[in-house]
Amino acid sequence: MSTVPPTIHEIMLRAQAAHTAIPGFNIPYLPMMEPVARALRDTRCFGLVMVARLEWEKFAAGGVKPIYETYQQVKDERFSRLHLDHVPVIDEDNLLVDYEAILAEAATLGYDSIMIDGSRLSLDDNIAATRRIVDMAHGRGVAVEAELGAVMGHESGPMPPYEELFASGKGFTDPDEARRFVAETGVDWLSVAIGSVHGAISATARREKKLEARLSIERLDALRETTGVPLVLHGGTGVKKECVLESVRHGIAKINIATAIRQPYEALMDADPEGALQAVYEATVAVVRDDLELMNSVDILNPGA
C-alpha cells in the first residue's frame, strides 16, 4: 500500500513543533542543484531547494521553468521539496515586478511553496498583495511565505553600519503588525527581520565575505507569540552560530542559505567546473552538519523516509 507523502506545509508544522528547522538552499546556477540534493540525501537532512527571482535576473538560474525541470531530474522527495523564494512586488532596484504572473506560473507548474515579498510596500499594501497570492496558491494546494519588516542587503546602495542597525532595531518586524498581517493574509510562514541581512548580490559586492550578524531572540519571542505560524530566517549565511541555534529553539523553522554555497561555486566555476560542484557539495554538507546541526532531521520531519 502506498502512502501519500506529506506536504511541505505539514513538514514545516512538524519542524515548528519539534523546534527544529528546514534549511533552504538557493540555486543561482543550475548545475549547483545536483550536489545540493545529494548533500541533503547524504546527511539525511530534510531541506528545500530554492530559487529567487533575482537568481535568474542577476545570476544564471534560467527562470521558473528551467529550475522546475532541473529539479525533476535530481529530486528525492524523502529529503526535499521545491520552493520559489523572493518574488518581490518592488525589487531591489526599485522596479515594479509582474509578481502575480511569476507566482502563478510556479504554483501551476508544481512548486511546493512560493514566496511573495511585499516588504517594500506599506503594511496595508503588503497585506492586500499577499492575500491575493494566498488565495491563488491555496486554491492549488501550494504553501505561501511572505515577509514583513526589512531584511536588508540585496539593495545595491551602501548599508548603514551593522551595529548601528542592530542597536536601533530599525526595520525589525513589529509584533503587532505581524499579528495583523498573519490574521488578515492567511499566510503559512512568515519571514521576519530580527537582525540578519542578506548576502550582497550586486556585481561589485557579491564576492565579499559576509559580515557576522546577530539575532534579537527577544524580538523573535514576541513574534512567535503574536503570529503562531512557522517563522523564517533569511540571510542565513554568516549568522553567529549560537544565535542561529537559539533562534531555532525559539520559533525559526526555516533558514535560507545562499552566499555560503554560491561563493565556493563562483570561485571555481570557470577554471574547474568539476571542482566547483564538489565545492558546493562540501559547503552544503558543512552548513547542514556544522553550522545548523541538522543531520538526520528527516527522521523527525519525514519519518519512514
Fill in the per-residue mask, 52 to 81: x = in contact with ligand 13P (CB under 6 A), - = not in contact: x-----------------------------
Cα–Cα dist 80/256, whole Å: 14
Measure the CA–CA gap between 32 and 57, rounded to whole angstroms. Answer: 17
Binding of ligand 13P by 257 (CB under 6 A): yes
Nearer to ligand 13P, 11 or 197 (CB): 197
Return the sign of the alpha-carbon dihedral for residues 189, 117, 52, 65: positive
Query: Would residue 135 show up in a list of annotated catalytic residues for this protein?
Result: no
Tell me how many degrees the CA angle 91-69-24 measures, rounded to the nearest 5.
55
Q: Considering only 101-109, 119-127, 258-266, 278-286, which stretch makes contact with ligand 13P by CB under 6 A?
A: 258-266
Grid coordinates representing 295 are 543531520
| Spatial CB neighbours of 255, under 8 Å, sequence gap ≥ 6 | 21, 22, 23, 24, 232, 233, 236, 244, 248, 292
Instruction: Give the rounded distance of the alpha carbon of 215 from its chain centre.
Output: 17
Decide: is 235 part of the binding site for ligand 13P (CB under 6 A).
Answer: yes
Q: All 3 cell numbers of residue 243?
A: 544565535
The residues pairing with 24 across neighbouring beta strands, listed in sequence order, are 48, 256
Q: Which residue is nearest to ligand 13P (CB)?
A: 199
Q: Does 127 bind ligand 13P (CB under 6 A)?
A: no
Closest CA to 171 of 145, 196, 146: 196
Selected binder of ligand 13P within 12, 22, 30, 258 (CB under 6 A)? 258
- Given the residues 42, 76, 85, 174, the one annotated as active site: 85
Residue 198 interacts with ligand 13P (CB under 6 A): yes or no? yes
Q: Tell whether residue 86 is a contact of ligand 13P (CB under 6 A).
A: yes
Nearer of residues 6 and 166 to ligand 13P, judged by Cβ:
166
- In the complex with ligand 13P, which residue's Cβ is closer, 174 or 291? 291
Q: How far is the CB of 16 from ligand 13P (least distance, A)?
A: 19
Give me the residues that bind ligand 13P (CB under 6 A), please. 26, 52, 85-86, 198-199, 234-237, 256-260
Catalytic residues: 85
